[in-house]
Chain A
């Protein structure tokens, strides 16, 4: 069964097309990775799924019901974990969760139980009576999640839930995501951390310029770029012009320079490593290490979009 079905979705802001005839399906029980660089159309899509933005055209169905025609049903089955914290700093953790759960019609004992469950789930039971302004970044993120899950939605959209937090809180959240999924929730997960997506997502879509440019399991996505090799060269002091020169070498598709590390995606069939290294040395760069890696999701993303996910 499809939990989310997007067909021909388009959103225009004046002349600018933010989402361009997008079609997408998320099946029940999936943790669906939704990847895209900033401005790719990811947030606009999520806003439309959350009924915060009206599509210019197209159709969105949640649990097989059109969200414009049965908005209440769609919203009751949807939980949103926004990237930026959306909690009341002057209300306790308990009051925050209870307030947002109450918006979904929960009252009385049921509201109390669900609130306690949600706080328990994110590990904040002992902080129920504390104000979020005294919380660490990770605790606030967990509270942000609790506010979205107390009403037990079928579909949860998590937008960058681990951004800017310590590794311990990140692990806690990733475990929570898996546990939520195991309890029957379908999750749409966006992140700038490719390793997270690779670790927890069962299927992934890559969006660029408002369109889905690739979709499938991580293995399927990786298999689309068997013709590409991922070379990482660490130099002593990289020169800014290096990327431009390297792109002229036959077989080189993309060159990314991150401080002293130069990442090159090149045609696997073209043997050009020596030429690349020679070029760098000719330009006065001292090579420290060379590594040819198996393609991963980041390689796929770079190859398909020409951009880094953090761009």
Chain B
């Protein structure tokens, strides 16, 4: 029987992958999924904050120093503008935020009660929070000197000069932020899950296609029985998905150098288990379809929506609770949950429950497909 299965697998693979378009469909699209993840998350790195400064307290040292301080902040680019230019450029998104120093600002700081300063932005707290916290810290320090000098200008100047020329020893340690690459690999896997499911349905559809062109019945009139034929289809399907997984992991790790934040072997194992689930679902779709058109429609109805609800296209954390509960019934979600757990440092032992659920999904779907195949009897149209 295994010789027959292998013969069918090899011949079908050869016939299926003869066309370049098929290669692109099965292997190019998952790679495109990684590229899409790169585009989605690659732009999330450090960005520059464009700040327009209107210095109305011209000629004052404290005001000038404040502008210089802002200029010295990491990832901040300062542009000197007029009040009108600031409004226009904020509205046009040419600037992210504006710092308005009004006349009397320096005096207010010197007196210990900072005033006449404002930060404007149309993009809200996500833009202003960083500058606010840094700037207010600086202003508070200078204001504290003003309060200590209690109106004594000479004393303030002495304190202020010492503060400006202070030689701080700063020790800095870099921490590598892996969250973005983890998100990239998570999302790449999300896309891969969808492509695996689509490929599985497409390959299982060959059973229906061969029924439609009647070659299926010719095969069954040979010593090959229906069980051998379906097993060959399953094996071929698994081989294609294995290749998809290997190619995607290779491109992710070696070509695009994305660190998945977990051992690649573990990711491979989980995806391999998911390939069983994909094949079983595809067989259920085929078993309940009378034509390739019907299988295609069922596939569209099942694959894309379930991938959407499971977080294959965007993180499930942004979805409402009700949808999250629904996703518990979807195998893709269990794969993504497992990957998330492993990325957050849990060992393989921590995802055993998830893997068991995935295995159970595969078994249940295989049983449903087997039952339905057993009840199908379309041979009357053969001769």
State whether these chains interact: yes
In chain A, what residue has the closest Cβ to B4?
A103
Which one of B23-31, B140-148, B218-226, B234-242 contacts A? B218-226
Q: Does A52 contact B (CB under 8 A)?
A: yes
Which residues, 71 to 111 on A, are CB-close (under 8 Å) to B?
71-72, 75-76, 78, 80, 82-91, 95, 99-100, 102-105, 107
Scoring B4, B7, B213, B215 by chain A CB atoms within 10 A of each residue's CB, the highest score goes to B215
Q: A43-B383, A50-B382 are in contact. Are A86 and B214 (CB under 8 A)?
A: yes
Interface string of B1-17 (1 = CB under 8 A from A): 00110011001000100
Q: Does A177 contact B (CB under 8 A)?
A: no
- Residues 369-383 of chain B: 1 if any A CB is under 8 Å from the residue's CB, otherwise 0? 000000001011111
The answer to whether the Cβ of B274 comes within 8 Å of any Cβ in the partner chain is no
Establish whether residues A91 and B15, one from each chain, have CB atoms under 8 Å apart when the complex forms: yes
Contacts of B217 in A (CB 8 A): 52, 82, 86
In the bound complex, do residue B215 and residue A47 qualify as a contact, i.e. CB atoms below 8 Å apart?
no
Q: Is A53 an interface residue (CB 8 A)?
A: yes
Q: Is the CB of A102 within 8 A of B11?
A: yes
Residue from B3, B7, B8, B220 in contact with A52 in the complex, judged by beta carbons closer than 8 Å: B220
Within 8 A of A (CB), among B16-67: 18
A220-269 with Cβ < 8 A to chain B: none
Contact between A80 and B383, CB atoms less than 8 A apart: yes
- Asked if B223 and A76 sit within 8 Å, CB to CB, the answer is yes
Q: Are B382 and A52 in contact (CB under 8 A)?
A: yes
In whole angstroms, what is the CA distance A102 to B379 when docked? 22
Residue in chain B with minimal CB distance to A102: B7
CB distance from B381 to the nearest CB of A (A): 8
Distance of A77 Cα from B296 Cα, bound (Å):
38
Chain A residues within 8 Å of B214, by CB: 82, 84-86
B223 touches A50 (CB 8 A): no
Q: Is A147 an interface residue (CB 8 A)?
A: yes
A181 within 8 Å of B by Cβ? no
Pairwise interchain contact A53-B379, C-beta atoms closer than 8 A: yes
In whole angstroms, how far apart are the Cα atoms of A80 and B216 in the complex? 13
Using A75-B221, A75-B222, A103-B219 as known contacts, say yes or no to A88 and B382 having CB atoms under 8 A apart. Answer: no
Q: Is A176 an interface residue (CB 8 A)?
A: no
Interface residues on A, range: 35 or more
A194 at the interface (CB under 8 A from B): no
Asked if A159 is an interface residue, CB under 8 A from chain B, the answer is yes
Question: Does A47 contact B222, Cβ atoms closer than 8 Å?
Answer: no
CB of B373, distance to nearest CB on chain A (Å): 15
Query: A84-B214, A87-B215, A90-B15 in contact; A103/B223 too (CB < 8 A)?
Result: yes
Q: Taking the complex as formed, is A63 at the interface, i.e. its CB lies under 8 A from any CB of chain B? A: no
Q: How far is the CB of B227 from chain A (nearest CB, A)?
A: 12
Residues of A close to B382: CB separation below 8 A: 43, 47, 50, 52, 82, 84, 86
Contact in complex: B223, A82 (CB < 8 Å): no
Q: Smallest distance from the beta carbon of A111 to chain B beta carbons, Å?
A: 10
A162 contacts which chain B residues (CB < 8 A)? Answer: none
Contact digits for B305-318, partner A, Cβ 8 Å, 1 yes 0 no = 00000000000000
Q: How far is the CB of B69 from chain A (nearest CB, A)?
A: 71
Tell me the minimal C-beta distance from B341 to chain A in angstroms.
44
Please tell me if A46 contacts chain B, counting CB pairs below 8 Å: yes
0 or 1 for each of B348-383: is its CB under 8 Å from A? (1 = yes): 000000000000000000000000000001011111
Find chain B residues with CB under 8 A from A95 CB. 15
Task: For residue A196, give the distance in angstroms from its CB to the closest CB of chain B.
Answer: 17
Closest-by-CB residue of B relative to A158 is: B383
Are B223 and A104 in touch, CB under 8 angstroms? yes
Contacts of A157 in B (CB 8 A): 383
A86 to B223, Cβ gap below 8 A?
A: no
CB under 8 Å from chain B, chain A span 45-64: 46-47, 50-53
User: Digit string of A141-169 for contact with B (CB within 8 Å is 1, else 0)?
Assistant: 00000011000000001010000000000
How distant is B38 from chain A, measured CB to nearest CB, in Å? 35
Q: Are A100 and B213 in contact (CB under 8 A)?
A: no
Indicate which residue in A44, A78, A87 contacts B221 across the interface (CB closer than 8 Å): A78
Whether A88 touches B213, Cβ cut-off 8 Å, given contacts A82-B382, A82-B383, A159-B383, is yes
Contacts of A46 in B (CB 8 A): 383
Known contacts A87-B215, A91-B15, A95-B15; is A103 also within 8 Å of B383 by CB? no
Q: Are B15 and A103 in contact (CB under 8 A)?
A: no
Pairwise interchain contact B379-A103, C-beta atoms closer than 8 A? no
B366 CB, nearest partner CB in chain A, Å: 24
For A190, give the chain B residue with the smallest CB separation.
Answer: B383
**Residues in B neighbouring A88, C-beta threshold 8 A:** 15, 213, 215
Report which of B4, B8, B383 forms a contact with A50, defined as CB distance below 8 A. Answer: B383
Q: Is the pair B379, A47 in contact by a Cβ cutoff of 8 Å?
A: yes
The winner among B18, B381, B382 for most chain A CB atoms within 10 A is B382
Question: In the bound complex, what is the Cα–Cα distance between A225 and B181 (angstroms)?
Answer: 88
A residues within 8 A CB of B225?
71
Nearest chain B residue, comparing its CB with the CB of A84 = B214
Task: Chain B residues near A50: list those with CB within 8 A.
Answer: 221, 382-383
- Select from chain A the residue with minimum beta-carbon distance to B379: A52
8 Å CB contact of B223 from A43, A75, A84: A75
Question: Which residues of B approach A to under 8 Å, CB–CB?
Answer: 3-4, 7-8, 11, 15, 18, 213-215, 217-225, 377, 379-383
11 A-B pairs besides A75-B223, A99-B11 with CB distance below 8 A are A43-B382, A71-B225, A80-B383, A82-B383, A84-B381, A86-B213, A86-B382, A100-B219, A100-B222, A102-B7, A105-B3
Closest 10 A-B residue pairs measured CB to CB? A103-B222, A86-B214, A52-B379, A86-B218, A50-B221, A159-B383, A75-B223, A80-B221, A82-B383, A46-B383
Binding site for B on A (CB under 8 A): 43-44, 46-47, 50-53, 71-72, 75-76, 78, 80, 82-91, 95, 99-100, 102-105, 107, 147-148, 157, 159
Instruction: Show 6 residue pairs from A and B whose CB-CB distance is below 8 angstroms, ordered by the A residue.
Output: A80-B218, A82-B214, A84-B382, A103-B7, A105-B4, A107-B7
